[in-house]
Amino acid sequence: MARELHRPSSVDRYWNRPTQTAPREVLDRWHLERIQHLIGWAYDNSPLYRRLYDNAGVKPSDIRTWDDFHHRLPFTDKPHFLADQDREPSGFGGLAMAPEQMQMYFHTTGTTGRFLNEGFTQFEMQKSATQYCYSLWDYGIRPGDAMYFCFNFGMWIGLWSIYWGARNLNLRILAGGGASSLERVRHILQHKPELVVGTPTYLLHLVEVARHEGLDLRDAGVRILMGGGEPGLSVPVTRQSLIDGWGATDVLDAYGIGEAMHVAQSCADWGGGVHTIEDVTHSYTADPESGEPMLESGQIGENIVTSYTHFSQPFIKYRTHDLVQRDLHPDHGCGWTWAHLPGVVLGRSDFMVTIRGTNVYPTAVENLIGGVTGLSNHYELHISRPSTFDEMLVKVEASSADTDHDRIAAALDEHFRRSLGVRLGVEVLKPETLPRYELKTKRIFDTRTAVT
Amino acid sequence: MNHFPELETTRQDLLTLRAELLRQRSAAPTPGVAHALRLADAYLFMALGCCGHNDTLFPEEGDSPTSETPFPNLC
């Protein structure tokens, strides 16, 4: 079983209480001032931003109010940076500092087809990583606790930023790179870290690997499981499966936009999602079609972010194409006043399937799978267009071999129909049928472009 | 202007500390000293960020590529 968790008192649970609990009006005034400063920096130092703003007929001094920011300042989007990186000899788009001043290079995961190159200075690596400290501290993780990474480190920034976050918090770092899954299970049982980092799918896979070998990960006494990169850690059924399989006390979810180093994380009182870390990022919601701001709590729209950790390659009013629901006045007991995103990422504004006239976001389907008991976190969505219309087949593994597949399939089918307003194809598979992945799990198979 | 008044005294003290740190760094007798002070400045700047400091966004913001001789005492 997990060792006793250090539960911070209400006083010492905050990494930076004055800003973390500041009233919304104070935070907004501070954000506007910082954004104005950042726009001036980008205009003076980044040829990309100068072109964008000149083309829009706007100067930094024109941005005096939120209305100016929302309506006069142009959005930035990934294609702006990709076009610029094709043009620039450095291979980086939007730079405001010389490439020689960078400490590390990364690129995005390429899930939208192209890698966007990212460069970070030494300060930016340190500063970006502080985003993790707010949540880890709130969950009771303290200097001297150990964090185990279930990954090989590569060009994706996500893992590196968590690593730097662990260094910032002076945690003991145990790297599982280059090890097999079974070796990682043995590492964890031997070193008994307080915290293990992995995708939800992979963390559940390790439970299976351990059981195959007659081992029990609950013997490691891991307190906190942490990760992100795919839905699951804010889905109640998956959270419970992880807690049961690991004997852990709690689960920490994280949502990140690598290029902008925008990270949002759950608090220890878990309100069903994640808080944006407003000391280092600004974000708001916009209508993905019109671009108009959606400033009322509860509206679902596109997450637009501005990074306060990335100055050598600024990302200002950047379109993430992630659909979120923003609560500007969260009240689930934690005391954080920073905006909360229940359900984390609800879909992608640029990836939607129309099934019998109903718009369906694959991410929404992923989140719904976790709402039916008897299913595992291992699933695939197969999107096809056999004739005129799109179809989606959901293949999902049962959680155990003795599950009644027909009953579970009927329950999932009804859950989709009620939640989405449309029926999807459902196929319940035996456990351990689908492939396992270490990093972002490949779950969506879209063959529509192959059909003419 | 600082929007978090409870942090203002700390912010002012840190700015005083930073001015002295930058002075020491500009007069650093060796690359080793200069580099360590550059790292110290990065950490100090993170503390300023926690205090809501908006006057400068990051340590290198005021630097211009030609304004600083890295190790004047070695020249």
How far is residue A92's CA from residue A101's CA, in Å, rounded to a whole number?
A: 13
pLDDT above 50 (res B70): no
What strands lie across the sheet with A391-398, from one edge to the other?
A425-429, A391-398, A375-384, A444-446
pLDDT above 60 (res B64): no
- Three state DSSP letters for A133-176: HHHHHHCCCCCCCEEEECCCCCCCHHHHHHHHHHHHCCCEEEEC
**In the prediction, which pLDDT does A2 show?**
61
What's the gap in Å between the CA of B13 and the closest CA on chain A? 17
Answer yes or no: do A41 and B61 touch at CB < 8 A.
yes
Round to the nearest angstrom and report the end-to-end CA distance of chain A.
55
What's the gap in Å between the CA of B41 and the closest CA on chain A? 9
pLDDT digits (tens, 9 = 90+) for A7-34: 666 668 999 999 999 999 999 999 999 9
How far is residue A156's CA from residue A116's CA, in Å, rounded to a whole number?
A: 11
Q: Which of B6, B54, B59 has the CB atom closest to A37's CB atom?
A: B54
A contacts of B63 (beta carbons < 8 Å): none
What's the gap in Å between the CA of B17 and the closest CA on chain A? 18
**In the prediction, which pLDDT does A451 show?**
40
Task: List residues of chain B with CB under 8 Å from any CB of chain A.
Answer: 1, 3-4, 6-7, 39, 42-43, 45-46, 49-50, 52, 54, 57-61, 65
Using alpha carbons, list the distances in angstroms from residue A330 to A134, A301, A327: 16, 18, 6
Answer yes or no: do B45 and A123 touch at CB < 8 A.
yes
A contacts of B52 (beta carbons < 8 Å): 18-19, 30
Of A416, A384, A424, A379, which is closest to residue A397 (Cα–Cα)?
A: A379
**In the prediction, which pLDDT does A206 show?**
94
A contacts of B1 (beta carbons < 8 Å): 33
Of A27, A64, A63, which is closest to residue A43 (Cα–Cα)?
A: A63
Single pTM value for the model:
0.86
CA-CA-CA-CA dihedral for A294, A271, A268, A230, to nearest 10 = -70
A contacts of B49 (beta carbons < 8 Å): 127, 130, 279-280, 308
Residue predicted with more confidence, A357 or B14: B14
**In the prediction, which pLDDT does A38 show?**
97
**In the prediction, which pLDDT does A188 show?**
98
How far is residue A333's CA from residue A111's CA, in Å, rounded to a whole number?
A: 36
Q: What percent of chain A has pLDDT over 90?
A: 63
Residue in chain B lying closest to A277 (CA): B50
Task: List residues of chain A with CB under 8 Å from any CB of chain B.
Answer: 16, 18-19, 22, 26-27, 29-30, 33-34, 37-38, 41, 97-98, 101, 121-124, 126-127, 130, 279-280, 308, 311
pLDDT digits (tens, 9 = 90+) for A341-369: 999 988 888 777 777 777 777 777 877 88
ipTM: 0.85
Answer yes or no: do B4 and A18 touch at CB < 8 A.
yes
Answer yes or no: do A101 and B60 touch at CB < 8 A.
yes
What's the gap in Å between the CA of B74 and the closest CA on chain A? 22
pLDDT above 70 (res B47): yes
pLDDT tens, per residue, chain A with 452 residues: 566 666 666 668 999 999 999 999 999 999 999 999 999 999 999 999 999 999 999 999 999 999 999 999 999 999 999 999 999 999 999 999 999 999 999 988 766 667 899 999 999 999 998 999 999 999 999 999 999 999 888 888 888 889 999 999 999 999 998 999 999 999 999 999 999 999 888 898 899 999 999 999 999 999 999 987 777 788 888 888 899 999 999 999 999 888 888 889 999 999 899 999 999 999 999 999 999 999 999 999 999 999 999 999 999 999 999 999 999 999 999 999 999 999 998 888 877 777 777 777 777 787 788 778 888 878 888 988 877 677 889 999 998 888 888 899 999 999 888 888 788 899 999 988 888 776 667 788 888 764 43
Beta strands in A328-390 (DSSP E): 340-342, 347-348, 353-355, 358-360, 375-384
